[in-house]
């Protein structure tokens, strides 16, 4: 799986300049860049996409891959969930979006049944990196979970494409 697999990492909506407003011009530009990078990966032979399914860049990435499945029916989207209860404290709107996406995935890898703390997220991120050879990241350069995941991916030798918000 690793050779033809891409993983995504990026900021949650609340950390993005446009927050939850995906109609903001900056978000639209980011979505265009993301789509372009996913298409480049597909044209290079990547067929499996691993997504952590968190609010923000993850869900946008999942939606973008799903939008390309009609044109590229052989691509697969796998959800790498930190725990089965990932969405239990999310807003109703975010839970509906998330569950709609889950129903369209080609597979799910769930690390834990219940949330046990930040360890869930760390292990989910390591799983995605360890099973990929390319990472597409939305990263603003600041310390946090996204930076840690990118740093781990670099140590593992992944090719990394960074999109700036």
pLDDT, tens digit, 9 for 90 and up, residues 3-14: 999 999 999 999
Domains of the chain, CATH where assigned: 2-11+22-163 (3.40.50.450)
pLDDT number for residue 156: 97
Report how far residue 82's alpha carbon sits from residue 99's, in angstroms, rounded to the nearest whole number: 15
pLDDT number for residue 20: 95
User: Given the DSSP bridges, would you call strands 134-138 and 159-163 parallel, antiparallel or unpaired?
Assistant: parallel
pLDDT number for residue 2: 87
Q: Tell which wins on pLDDT, 116 or 137.
A: 137
Taking alpha carbons only, the member of 97, 112, 23 closest to residue 53 is 97
Taking alpha carbons only, the member of 13, 158, 115, 62 closest to residue 123 is 115
pLDDT number for residue 1: 60
Q: What is the mean pLDDT of residues 97-107?
A: 98
Please state, for a pLDDT cut of 70, what percent of the chain lies above it.
Answer: 99
pLDDT number for residue 143: 94
- Report the mean per-residue pLDDT for the chain: 96
pLDDT number for residue 118: 87
Taking alpha carbons only, the member of 134, 100, 146 closest to residue 5 is 134
45 by DSSP, 3-state: which? coil
Are 104 and 66 contacting, i.e. CB atoms less than 8 angstroms apart? yes
Q: What is the mean pLDDT of residues 66-73?
A: 97
Continuous H helices in 10-79: 25-43, 57-68
Q: What is the mean pLDDT of residues 124-131?
A: 98
Q: pLDDT of 15-66, one tens digit each? A: 999 999 999 999 999 999 999 999 999 999 999 999 999 999 999 999 999 9
Report how far residue 101's alpha carbon sits from residue 152's, in angstroms, rounded to the nearest whole number: 27
Q: What is the pTM of this model?
A: 0.96
- The distance of Cα 100 from the centroid of its chain, to the nearest Å, equals 16
Q: What is the mean pLDDT of residues 118-146?
A: 96
Beta-carbon-side half-sphere exposure of residue 104 (alpha carbons within 13 Å): 19
């Amino acid at each position: 799986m690793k050779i033809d697999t891409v993983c995504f990492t990026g900021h949650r909506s609340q950390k993005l300049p446009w927050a939850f407003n995906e109609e903001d011009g900056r978000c639209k530009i980011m979505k265009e860049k993301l789509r372009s990078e996913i298409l480049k990966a597909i044209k290079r032979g990547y067929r499996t996409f691993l997504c952590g399914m968190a609010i923000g860049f993850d869900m946008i990435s999942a939606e973008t891959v799903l939008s390309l499945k009609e044109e590229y029916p052989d691509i697969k989207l796998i959800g790498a969930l930190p725990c089965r209860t990932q969405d239990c404290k999310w807003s109703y709107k975010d839970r509906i979006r998330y569950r709609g996406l889950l129903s369209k995935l080609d597979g799910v890898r769930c690390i834990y049944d219940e949330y046990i703390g930040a360890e869930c997220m760390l292990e989910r991120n390591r799983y995605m990196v360890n099973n990929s050879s390319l990472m597409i990241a939305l990263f603003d350069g600041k310390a946090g979970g996204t930076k840690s995941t990118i740093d781990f991916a670099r140590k593992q030798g992944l090719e990394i494409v960074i999109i700036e918000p």
